Each structure stands twice: as structure tokens, then as C-alpha cells.
């Protein structure tokens, strides 16, 4: 059973992600962040819950929607914000930006801008775990849109054939840009896509941290026992447009508001902390305020940091 201290810590992480993303969107509006910028607002419980059960040997990879993964794994918000602003103090020295963040220290391999590519790469991470016999497993996050790429199924096939240690986290947030899942995916839905490879699928409510925690524990123990791959089909929702430039006219305001009001992952944990664990609202506000300060610091750090020098241009092309 999870204790109240852990729940508070997880609450804090989710608030960190949301506050970070909100600040990123402000810095975008002010012209500090440029190009593509995809926010994780609404989906916070997914990566927070799954990474809670991570071991130090494990590895992970995701799409361009990657700020949250960095933060939850423990990369300092200053470094993530600085990367967003293209500064030399950022995680890729400003060379990658929003979509291309990595943390070698946490075995986090990005940050991939090509939809679906991370699924094959993540399967390769699992291959390496098995090859090295290091006990680690790969957490490979991808979206409902990515789930239609051919390489996903090529990967599923080999992962199952070779019993690779991998948890596929299919984050179904309902939309791939302006295309809803039902307009893009045939058959009985994405949760059945592992069937013909005999990869089991666990259904997860991604708006409920506790469900994510419980199901990911299940998934992880299945994979760690050497059973091969598993799929977590996570039902979740993104509150903002696909990226900063998407007005999201393909869905109604009512649809978005209904999720915010009834299924918000942060609100849910907050209410549980107050109602079931008798945590005082004051203590929660204290956490929120602390995070607020950390985020302000991160923004200040990013804005005040220097852009990379000219000498950086030709570095890191080859070793």
C-alpha cells in the first residue's frame, strides 16, 4: 500500500509538471520559447504514476511531448526550461529544444520528433537490457496517433518473439493533432492491438493516479519475471491544443471542460489527500506555493542564461 508521504510526493510532481507547462506556455507567448512546444497538461498522472515504480537500471523514451518525463525523472526544472529557451545551460545545450530532451543519467533517451520512431527505439532499449542481462526494462511511451505507424507492429512482433523486457505505454489522449482516435484506428480499438502478437494489454485510467500506480506495478512485475512485453493502454486527455499553434477547433469547449471538471488528475489526488488522509488544505497550498517558486526560478534562470556560443555549432556532430 502506498503511504501518505508518497502520495504527497507524487502530488508535488504532478503540480510541478502542470506549473512548468503553464509557465512554458507563457514564455512561448513572450517569445522566449520558439518553434514547436507540446504540453503535457492533463496527462500528468500517467508518467508520474509509471515512473514511481522505476528502478535505476530501467530506461525510457517518449515522443516530442517530453518535458514532463524529464521533470518526473528528476532533471532540474532550470535545465529543462533553459533547453526550451535555447540556452547553453539547457539539457542539450540549446541544440534540441522542446522536442529533443535527453537524460543519460536517468536512461531517458528522448524526445523524438518522428511519430512512432520511439517505439522501435524503445524496443531496442529493451533488447539491450536483455542482451546485457542487467535486469532493466524499457518504458516506451507513444500516442494514439503513433499507434497506427507500421513500425509499432514490427516492434511488437519482435518484442514478443524475443520476449523483450518492455512496457509499452500507449497514451491514448483521444487525438492525434486534429484527428480523433475513432477517425484513425479501425477494429475494436487500440487496446486490442497487441492481441495478434499475444502481448497482453492492461486497461488504465490515466486520469487516476492510483489506477496508474496499481496497474503499472502489475505490468512491471509481469515484465520483470521474464514474460516479455506488455501494453498499458492508458485512457487520458490533453487539455491544450496539440502544440502551441493549434487552436483545437476539432473538439468542443464542453468536451474539454467536462474532463477538467470531472476527471482532473491533480484535483482528484488533492481531494483524496484532504478527504481520506486528513491532509490540511494549508499543507497542500504550501506545496503549490513551493512549486510556484521553483518554476519562477526556472524561468528566471532560463531567461538569464546565455545562448550557446558560435564554437558550439560544429561540436557533437561526430565523436
Partner 1 sequence: MNDITVRTALRDAMAEEMRANPNVFLLGEEVASYNGAYKISQGLLEEFGATRVIDTPITEHGFTGIGVGAAMAGLRPIIEFMTFNFAMQAIDHIVNSAAKTLYMSGGKINCPIVFRGANGIPGSVAAQHSHCFASWYAHCPGLKVVAPYSALEAKGLLKLAIRDDNPVVFLEHEMLYGKRFEIQTSPTELVALDKAVILRSGTDITITSFSISVQYALDAADVLYDKYGISAEVINLITLRPIDKETIIESVKKTGRILNVEEGWMSCGIGSEITALVIENAFDYLDCEPMRLSSAEVPVPYSKSLECLAQANSEKVVILSRSMLQK
Ligand X SMILES: Cc1ncc(C[n+]2csc(CCOP(=O)(O)OP(=O)(O)O)c2C)c(N)n1
Encode burial over 163-183: b for 16+ CB neighbours within 10 A, e otherwise.
ebbbbbbbbbbbbbeebebee
**In this complex, which beta carbon is closest to ligand X, that of residue 143 or of residue 228?**
143
Nearer to partner 1, 8 or 248 (CB): 248
Task: Verify binding: residue 235, Mg ion, rule CB under 5 A.
Answer: no
Q: Does 115 bind ligand X (CB under 6 A)?
A: yes
Residues 6+ apart with CB under 8 A from 191: 170, 201, 203, 231, 233
Among 19, 37, 45, 176, binds ligand X (CB under 6 A): 176
Residues 125-164 contacting ligand X, CB under 6 A: 143-146
Least distance to partner 1, CB of residue 130, Å: 27
Phi, then psi, of 207 in degrees rounded to 5: -95, 0
Q: Write phi, then psi, for 213 (nearest 5 degrees).
A: -60, -50
Cis peptide before 6 (omega within 30 of 0): no
62 binds Mg ion (CB under 5 A): no
CA separation for the pair 137, 116 (Å, rounded): 19
When CB distances to ligand X are compared, the closest residue is 143
43 or 63: CB nearest partner 1? 63
Are 294 and 16 in contact by the 8 Å Cβ rule? The answer is yes
In angstroms, give the least distance from the CB of 179 to Mg ion: 9
Q: Which does 65 bind (CB under 5 to 8 A by kind): ligand X, Mg ion, partner 1, none?
A: ligand X
Spatial separation of the C-alpha atoms in residues 52 and 269, rounded to whole Å: 15
From the list 23-31, 53-61, 88-96, 172-180, the region that binds ligand X by CB under 6 A is 172-180
What is the H or E stretch that residue 265 is in? Answer: helix 265-277
Question: From the CB of 180, what's the least distance to ligand X, in Å?
Answer: 10
Binding footprint of ligand X on the chain (CB under 6 A): 63, 65, 113-115, 143-146, 173, 175-177, 242
Amino acid at each position: 500500500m502506498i503511504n501518505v508521504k508518497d502520495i504527497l510526493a507524487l502530488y508535488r510532481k504532478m503540480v510541478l509538471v502542470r506549473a512548468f507547462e503553464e509557465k512554458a506556455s507563457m514564455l512561448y507567448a513572450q517569445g522566449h520559447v520558439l518553434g514547436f512546444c507540446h504540453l503535457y497538461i492533463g496527462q500528468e498522472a500517467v508518467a508520474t504514476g509509471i515512473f514511481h515504480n522505476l528502478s535505476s537500471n530501467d530506461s525510457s523514451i517518449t515522443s516530442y511531448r517530453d518535458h514532463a518525463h524529464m521533470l518526473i525523472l528528476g532533471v532540474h526544472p532550470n535545465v529543462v526550461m533553459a533547453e526550451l529557451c535555447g540556452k547553453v545551460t539547457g539539457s542539450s545545450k540549446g541544440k534540441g529544444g522542446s522536442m529533443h530532451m535527453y537524460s543519460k543519467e536517468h536512461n531517458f533517451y528522448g524526445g523524438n520528433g518522428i511519430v512512432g520512431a520511439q517505439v522501435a527505439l524503445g524496443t531496442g532499449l529493451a533488447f539491450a537490457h536483455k542482451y546485457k542481462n542487467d535486469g532493466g526494462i524499457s518504458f516506451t511511451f507513444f500516442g494514439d496517433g503513433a499507434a497506427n505507424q507500421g513500425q509499432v507492429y514490427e516492434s511488437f512482433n519482435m518484442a514478443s518473439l524475443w520476449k523483450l523486457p518492455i512496457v509499452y505505454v500507449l497514451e491514448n489522449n483521444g487525438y492525434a493533432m486534429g484527428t480523433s482516435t475513432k477517425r484513425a484506428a479501425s477494429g475494436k480499438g487500440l487496446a486490442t492491438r497487441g492481441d495478434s502478437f499475444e502481448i497482453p494489454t492492461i486497461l488504465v485510467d490515466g486520469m487516476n493516479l492510483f489506477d496508474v500506480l496499481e496497474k503499472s506495478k502489475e505490468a512491471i512485475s509481469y515484465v520483470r519475471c521474464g514474460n516479455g512485453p506488455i501494453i498499458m493502454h492508458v485512457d487520458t486527455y490533453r487539455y491544450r491544443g496539440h502544440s502551441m499553434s493549434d487552436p483545437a477547433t476539432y473538439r468542443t469547449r464542453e468536451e474539454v471542460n467536462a474532463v477538467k471538471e470531472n476527471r482532473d488528475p491533480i484535483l482528484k489526488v488533492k481531494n483524496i489527500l484532504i478527504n481520506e488522509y486528513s491532509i490540511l488544505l494549508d499543507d497542500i497550498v504550501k506545496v503549490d506555493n513551493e512549486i510556484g517558486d521553483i518554476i519562477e526560478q526556472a524561468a528566471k534562470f532560463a531567461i538569464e542564461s546565455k545562448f550557446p556560443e558560435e564554437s558550439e555549432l560544429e561540436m557533437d556532430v561526430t565523436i
